[in-house]
């Protein structure tokens, strides 16, 4: 894969990410006649939720479920829309002039757009427990990716730990695919059931209610569940061997080959932050999210954010938010084409429907503090640079005040993942330790390249590019 000859030097719209928000946004702007490019780092469209929707070896819906099939319509509509698509292409920079740095097949380009719609979705919240870096420990999302794209299930003894709808969905999928789960360790804090109960009425009328209960029942019939889990430790020499757990006063251990962790998803903010877009702390969802208007316009003119990257709302709302961003784009760049695409009011109404029940889920699956802020000093926080919670606390004690100052003491956030797997933990840990709010403590200052770019790729940028700037916070 490299850049096709047909690639234009500039586009009306560049959409970054081919999940539900990106597919819906790109299809809508292209249908309105705007020259649209959809860029995605995966080889097949679908994002995470509809991963491998066109290529999965699991051909019928008996394993992955009917909701997954909804991705087919999105891809189909996109393919008819006339938008260009670059698959297997990494976006490594975006600036306030809306110049997008792309690399593909060992080459790099800088391409400008009138509008950029960031649809880079969500990532799983870090789950820092002792031993989470051992081979054999991975996220439930990782397990589901392997299932969707290659039809793979874990071999050997498997346990799942954590909380959230994805845990139950994946457990059910593994069972339907003929897999076995030794145990599920549910970390949902018991107090969450009370705080969530206030939001129950909204949830009962949402589609999640019956589907969710059905899944949990399906799994509970076949798997041992330990509830109220308060501590997890993965042990092993060169790979996972044992999971030690505590649930209040109960304790136990279990020999395992694979442990999958999950405690919800958070917006994947790296690209938006590196572009200089303003973010704020979401005290309910416990994460940073971009400051946006109703259509998805960010603090930088011409850059919009749609889908879970704008704040977690799930796949169906992601598609609607993608359409809303696209409608705003068309209204600005080609208002005469508005008649050809869905009306703003219709999309808004559908969005409201898809958001029903969200508050209940947000409160029920709010992860507990002990799994967000590592209590054991030896727990690795920064996986790339192998920095522990104890080392970070020691740096705070001698003067590190925030994530950026911490870099003068420890190399946290300076490895290849650029803080994706440690930033929330570092922010919350420092806030907790210093008695401040996460908003006050802030986040790493992120910069392009948001993904590593090889020296060869950088050197391959054509000479004729005019002076083009990428924005970072100095």
Binding span for other proteins by CB under 8 A among 9-17, 245-253, 345-353, 447-455 = 447-455
The yes or no reply on residue 294 touching other proteins (CB under 8 A) is no
The yes or no reply on residue 362 touching other proteins (CB under 8 A) is no
The yes or no reply on residue 368 touching other proteins (CB under 8 A) is no
Nearer to other proteins, 350 or 411 (CB): 411
Nearer to other proteins, 199 or 407 (CB): 407
Which member of 106, 201, 207, 252 binds other proteins (CB under 8 A)?
Answer: 106
The yes or no reply on residue 311 touching other proteins (CB under 8 A) is no
The yes or no reply on residue 104 touching other proteins (CB under 8 A) is no
Q: What minimum distance in Å lies between the beta carbon of 34 and other proteins?
A: 26
Place of tokens 């806030």: 431
The yes or no reply on residue 414 touching other proteins (CB under 8 A) is yes
Query: What is the distance between the terminal CA atoms of the chain, rounded to a whole angstrom?
Result: 34
Nearer to other proteins, 339 or 397 (CB): 397
Binding span for other proteins by CB under 8 A among 68-76, 164-172, 181-189, 412-420 = 412-420
Q: What minimum distance in Å lies between the beta carbon of 144 and other proteins?
A: 9
Helix (H, G, I), strand (E, B) or coil at 379: coil
Q: What minimum distance in Å lies between the beta carbon of 176 and other proteins?
A: 9
| CA neighbor of 131 nearest in space, from 251, 259, 235, 241 | 235
Binding span for other proteins by CB under 8 A among 211-219, 283-291, 310-318, 395-403 = 395-403
Cβ atoms of 106 and 240 closer than 8 Å: no
Q: Which of residues 248-267 bind other proteins (CB under 8 A)?
A: 257-258
Tokens coding 463? 């000479």
Which member of 66, 238, 249, 339 binds other proteins (CB under 8 A)?
Answer: 238
Q: Which residues pair with 388 in a beta bridge?
A: 380
Q: What minimum distance in Å lies between the beta carbon of 33 and other proteins?
A: 31
Cβ atoms of 51 and 145 closer than 8 Å: yes
Torsion of CA 155, 157, 158, 159, to 10 degrees: 180
In angstroms and rounded to an integer, the radius of gyration of the C-alpha atoms of the chain is: 22
Which member of 5, 66, 397, 455 binds other proteins (CB under 8 A)?
Answer: 455
Which member of 42, 295, 298, 329 binds other proteins (CB under 8 A)?
Answer: 42
The yes or no reply on residue 301 touching other proteins (CB under 8 A) is no
Rounded to whole angstroms, the Cα distance separating 305 from 261 reads 28
Determine phi and psi for 27, rounding to 5 degrees.
Answer: -60, -40
Task: Walk across the sheet containing 183-186 and list its strands.
Answer: 137-139, 258-263, 158-163, 183-186, 225-226
Rounded to whole angstroms, the Cα distance separating 299 from 115 reads 13
Which member of 58, 287, 306, 351 binds other proteins (CB under 8 A)?
Answer: 58
Q: Which of residues 152-181 bind other proteins (CB under 8 A)?
A: 152-156, 177-179
The yes or no reply on residue 348 touching other proteins (CB under 8 A) is no
Which member of 36, 93, 354, 379 binds other proteins (CB under 8 A)?
Answer: 93
Q: Residue 256 gets which letter from DSSP?
A: -
Which member of 49, 421, 429, 441 binds other proteins (CB under 8 A)?
Answer: 421
The yes or no reply on residue 435 touching other proteins (CB under 8 A) is no
The yes or no reply on residue 105 touching other proteins (CB under 8 A) is no
Tokens coding 177? 């695919």
Cβ atoms of 341 and 327 closer than 8 Å: yes
Nearer to other proteins, 57 or 201 (CB): 57
Q: Which of residues 110-129 bind other proteins (CB under 8 A)?
A: 110, 123-124
Nearer to other proteins, 12 or 124 (CB): 124
Rounded to whole angstroms, the Cα distance separating 345 from 338 reads 12
Q: Which of residues 176-205 bind other proteins (CB under 8 A)?
A: 177-179
Cβ atoms of 276 and 471 closer than 8 Å: yes
The yes or no reply on residue 268 touching other proteins (CB under 8 A) is yes
SS3 per-residue string spanning 266-286: EECCHHHHHCCCCEEEECCCC
Rounded to whole angstroms, the Cα distance separating 428 from 422 reads 10
Rounded to whole angstroms, the Cα distance separating 99 from 115 reads 10
The number of residues that bind other proteins (CB under 8 A) is 93
Binding span for other proteins by CB under 8 A among 21-29, 131-139, 227-235, 242-250 = 131-139
The yes or no reply on residue 86 touching other proteins (CB under 8 A) is no
The yes or no reply on residue 224 touching other proteins (CB under 8 A) is no
Nearer to other proteins, 142 or 359 (CB): 142
Rounded to whole angstroms, the Cα distance separating 8 from 112 reads 10
The yes or no reply on residue 2 touching other proteins (CB under 8 A) is no
Nearer to other proteins, 152 or 370 (CB): 152
Which member of 65, 82, 151, 390 binds other proteins (CB under 8 A)?
Answer: 151
Rounded to whole angstroms, the Cα distance separating 322 from 454 reads 31
| CA neighbor of 320 nearest in space, from 13, 22, 118 | 22
Helix (H, G, I), strand (E, B) or coil at 210: helix
Cβ atoms of 40 and 143 closer than 8 Å: no
């Amino acid at each position: 894969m490299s850049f096709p000859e047909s690639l234009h030097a500039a586009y009306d719209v560049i959409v970054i990410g081919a999940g539900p928000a990106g597919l819906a946004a790109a299809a809508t702007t292209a249908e309105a006649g705007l020259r649209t490019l959809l860029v995605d780092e995966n080889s097949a469209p679908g994002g995470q939720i509809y991963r491998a929707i066109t290529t999965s070896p699991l051909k019928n819906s008996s394993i992955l479920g009917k909701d997954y099939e909804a991705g087919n319509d999105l891809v189909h509509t996109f393919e008819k829309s006339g938008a260009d698509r670059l698959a297997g292409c990494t976006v490594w920079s975006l600036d306030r002039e809306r110049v997008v740095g792309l690399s593909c097949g060992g080459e790099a380009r800088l391409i400008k757009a009138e509008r950029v719609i960031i649809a880079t979705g969500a990532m799983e919240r870090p789950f820092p427990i002792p031993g989470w870096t051992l081979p054999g420990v991975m996220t439930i999302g990782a397990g589901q990716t392997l299932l969707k794209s290659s039809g793979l299930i874990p071999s050997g003894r498997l346990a799942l730990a954590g909380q959230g709808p994805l845990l139950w969905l994946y457990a059910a999928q593994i069972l339907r695919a003929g897999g076995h789960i030794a145990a599920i360790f549910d970390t949902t804090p018991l107090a969450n059931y009370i705080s969530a109960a206030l939001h129950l009425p909204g949830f009962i009328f949402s589609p999640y209610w019956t589907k969710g209960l059905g899944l949990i029942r399906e799994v509970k019939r076949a798997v041992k569940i330990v509830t109220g889990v308060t501590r997890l430790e993965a042990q092993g020499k060169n790979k996972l061997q044992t999971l030690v757990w505590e649930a209040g006063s109960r304790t136990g251990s279990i020999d395992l080959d694979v442990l999958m962790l999950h405690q919800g998803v958070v917006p994947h903010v790296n690209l938006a932050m590196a572009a200089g877009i303003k973010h704020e702390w979401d005290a309910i969802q416990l994460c940073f999210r971009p400051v946006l208007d109703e259509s998805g316009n960010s603090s930088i003119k011409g850059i919009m954010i749609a889908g879970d990257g704008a704040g977690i709302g799930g796949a169906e709302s992601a598609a609607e938010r993608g359409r809303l961003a696209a409608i705003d784009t068309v209204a600005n760049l080609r208002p005469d084409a508005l008649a050809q695409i869905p009306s703003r009011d219709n999309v808004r109404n559908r969005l409201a429907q898809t958001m029903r029940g969200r508050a209940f889920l947000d409160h029920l699956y709010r992860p507990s503090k002990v799994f967000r802020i590592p209590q054991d000093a030896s727990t690795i926080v920064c996986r790339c640079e192998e920095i522990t919670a104890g080392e970070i606390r020691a740096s705070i004690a001698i003067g590190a005040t925030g994530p950026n100052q911490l870099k003068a003491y420890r190399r946290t956030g300076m490895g290849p993942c650029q803080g994706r797997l440690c930033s929330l933990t570092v922010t919350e840990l420092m806030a907790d330790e210093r008695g401040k709010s996460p908003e006050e403590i802030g986040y790493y200052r992120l910069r392009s390249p948001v993904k590593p770019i090889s020296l060869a790729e950088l050197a391959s940028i054509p000479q004729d590019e005019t002076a083009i700037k990428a924005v970072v916070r100095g």
